Amino acid sequence: MATTLVPSASAGLVQAPVLRRPPRRRVGTVGRILGYAAMIVAAAAVLLPFYWMVISSLKTNNTVFTAPIQWVPEVFQWHNYVDIFTRAEMTTWLKNTLLLSVVVTFLQVLTGSFAAYGFSKVHFRGRDALFLVYVGTIAVPWQAYMIPQFILFSKLHLSNTLWAIIALQAFGAFGVFLMRQFYETVPEELSEAARLDGLSEYGIWRRIMLPLSVPALASLALLTFVNTWNDYLGPLLYLRDRDLWTIQLGLRTFVTQYNTEFALIMTGSVLSVLPVAIIFMLGQRYFVQGIATTGIKG
């Protein structure tokens, strides 16, 4: 399916430079039609898997795979969305995942923005070297140090508790990096003026920086929330007990356990994606901004 993208992509490659400045130069009709055609093909390639997931979740089990494909279910099986809660421990998984995502997001935003202020607005010796260490660890893949980390967490009796996931995600360098990038754009005069007015550094952070950085905080919060919600590897390594499982871990196990329950598997998948989809639709501006300021996702 994605291979269909290549022709559209190369079409765009050749076309785009010609049509770069639409206001000054009239775009040719042919170019316009080609552009729309390429966009439709690309949009189909991106969105069809999601569409297929949603319609399959509303079918009976033996109508998921039919030839030819049924693009609209004959009868919508809404009860799949009730059945999944009795067939799997959906409630537990969703509850755990929500709890983890909220706590991690809160801690990451709080400690991240606090530390970023220290890195950006307070001048002291060793500050920049320390920041370099922070940024450096972003480049180190987690897979490379997951083993010593696992051993450490076991020694601290964190493994097989929800605390492990909180510890894993909440103190990342990513939040510090994103918030510092934002604070660097706030003019020094602002905090200087506040300092002359007698505000302490903590006061400046709370009364001036926090209110100013609401968009950056929103970016960080959304990215962290979605990241924690989607995390599979952390829970896979650390959460053994069934009643600690998150939605990703639970869904994965459900798929291996009931590997022929195609419709219900898709129902579970939709439920695991739905919260992220809603958050993304409401705050897509902040996602894009967060990516643009750092170039990375957590």
| Region 8-47 residues binding other proteins, contact defined as CB under 8 A | 8-23, 27, 32, 35-36, 38-39, 42-43, 45-47
Place of tokens 């998150």: 246
**Count of residues in the chain:** 298
C-beta separation of 174 from 296 below 8 A? yes
Q: How far is the CB of 182 from other proteins (least distance, A)?
A: 15
Write out the DSSP string of 8-53.
HHHHHHHHHHHTS-TTTSPPPHHHHHHHHHHHHHHHHHHHHHHHHH
CB-side neighbour CA atoms (13 Å) of 242: 6
Of the chain, the end-to-end C-alpha distance in Å amounts to 28
Task: Return the range that interacts with other proteins (CB under 8 A); candidates 72-80, 82-90, 130-138, 187-195.
Answer: 130-138
Is 150 one of the binding residues for other proteins (CB under 8 A)? yes
Each residue 258-287 as x (binds other proteins by CB under 8 A) or -, in order, gives ----x--xx--x--xx--xx--x---x--x
Report phi then psi at 59, rounded to 5.
-105, 170
Q: How far is the CB of 82 from other proteins (least distance, A)?
A: 20
Q: How far is the CB of 84 from other proteins (least distance, A)?
A: 14
With both helix axes pointing from N to C terminus, report the angle between 90-121 and 214-230 in degrees, rounded to the nearest 10: 140
Interface residue with other proteins among 91, 137, 185, 257 (CB under 8 A) is 137
Beta carbon nearer to other proteins, 135 or 214: 135
Interface residue with other proteins among 61, 92, 149, 160 (CB under 8 A) is 149
C-beta separation of 165 from 238 below 8 A? yes
Task: Return the range that interacts with other proteins (CB under 8 A); candidates 87-95, 167-175, 186-194, 210-218.
Answer: 167-175
Separation between Cα atoms, residue 203 and residue 235, nearest integer Å: 38
- In the three-class reduction of DSSP (H, G, I as helix; E, B as strand; rest coil), residue 103 is classed as helix
Q: How many residues bind other proteins (CB under 8 A)?
A: 112
Task: Return the range that interacts with other proteins (CB under 8 A); candidates 77-85, 144-152, 184-192, 210-218.
Answer: 144-152
Interface residue with other proteins among 2, 75, 129, 196 (CB under 8 A) is 2
Restricted to residues 53-112, the positions that interact with other proteins (CB under 8 A) are 53, 56, 64-69, 110-112
Q: How far is the CB of 105 from other proteins (least distance, A)?
A: 14
- In the three-class reduction of DSSP (H, G, I as helix; E, B as strand; rest coil), residue 149 is classed as helix
Is 162 one of the binding residues for other proteins (CB under 8 A)? no
Task: Return the range that interacts with other proteins (CB under 8 A); candidates 81-89, 98-106, 212-220, 225-233.
Answer: 225-233
Interface residue with other proteins among 95, 194, 237, 258 (CB under 8 A) is 237
CB-side neighbour CA atoms (13 Å) of 176: 20
Separation between Cα atoms, residue 148 and residue 166, nearest integer Å: 17
Quote the DSSP letter at residue 74: S
Task: Return the range that interacts with other proteins (CB under 8 A); candidates 81-89, 135-143, 189-197, 213-221.
Answer: 135-143
Is 251 one of the binding residues for other proteins (CB under 8 A)? yes
Separation between Cα atoms, residue 233 and residue 211, nearest integer Å: 35
Place of tokens 């709890």: 99
